[in-house]
Amino acid sequence: MDNNNIIISVENLTVAYGNIKAVDDVSFEVREGEIVTLIGANGAGKSSTLRAISGVTPYSGRICYGGRDLRNIPAHQIVARGMAQVPEGRGIFGNLTVMENLKLATWQRKDRETVAKDYRRVFALFPQLEKRQDQLGGTLSGGEQQMLAVGRALMSRSRMMLLDEPSMGLAPVLVRDIFHTITEINRTGTTILLVEQNAHMALSIASRAYVLETGKIILSGAGKELLDNQRVREAYLG
């Protein structure tokens, strides 16, 4: 694994809503093959950072993906460049079937033949979804919706996946399953940027982590290291 191969670099990112800076001069990078996590409390600026990278919120600073500046590139084009998204709150379309939810994520794909193979890959990963493929997304349980959100991101066959609080609202056993799946996906070559409030789970799978507090990065390091860090333990691990 080439650790110098930076896939996302964020430089001096600031996201402001009116006079309030949700993200204040944040810089970090993600390298090919890593699992990088941004952890922090509610309102620390994690989701705003992710939204800026996704191209759905205005920002100042510089965000590069694969060496190219993402400024002025519309959100759907960013996905087309290989950045899949698992949105906050899962973002399942309750009025579409499970299959349709998956299919919509293939919008940017030209390789129609291999799409069928990818459905099988998603169903192998989440057998429950296969059973429910003709059911409306709104009828799924929270855990199944999260599986669908991850499966949907896989359908775009991206080299990078952004996840916004996949553990939100899930029972501990389901959280473990989802994090296990995330490491599996990472092992097959997908770089992961994970935003989490569940610091313990996130740090235990992360190669590197950044701790955000009121819009600033206050700590960074390897996931395991931060797990033992006194400050992190006090603030986030209880």
For binding to another protein (CB under 8 A), which residues are involved? 54-56, 74-76, 79-80, 85, 87, 89, 91, 93-96, 100, 103-105, 107-108, 138, 152, 156, 169
Nearest distance in Å: CB 15, another protein: 16
Closest CB to another protein among residues 94, 189: 94
Would you say 145 and 136 are in contact if contact means Cβ atoms under 8 Å apart? no
Nearest distance in Å: CB 155, another protein: 9
Nearest distance in Å: CB 89, another protein: 6
Closest CB to another protein among residues 64, 75: 75
Please work out, in degrees rounded to the nearest 5, the angle formed at the alpha carbon of residue 75 by the alpha carbons of 210 and 44: 30
What letter represents residue 134's amino acid? D
Please give the structure tokens belonging to residue 63. 């965000």
Closest CB to another protein among residues 155, 178: 155
Would you say 200 and 235 are in contact if contact means Cβ atoms under 8 Å apart? no
Closest CB to another protein among residues 138, 172: 138
Nearest distance in Å: CB 236, another protein: 24
Closest CB to another protein among residues 6, 75: 75
Using DSSP's 3-state secondary structure scheme, residue 189 falls into: coil
Nearest distance in Å: CB 91, another protein: 4
Dist. CA 201–CA 173, nearest whole Å: 12
CA distances from 147 to 17, 32, 86, 124 (A): 32, 24, 10, 12
Dist. CA 233–CA 238, nearest whole Å: 6
Burial class (CB in 10 A: 0-12, 13-18, 19+), 163: buried
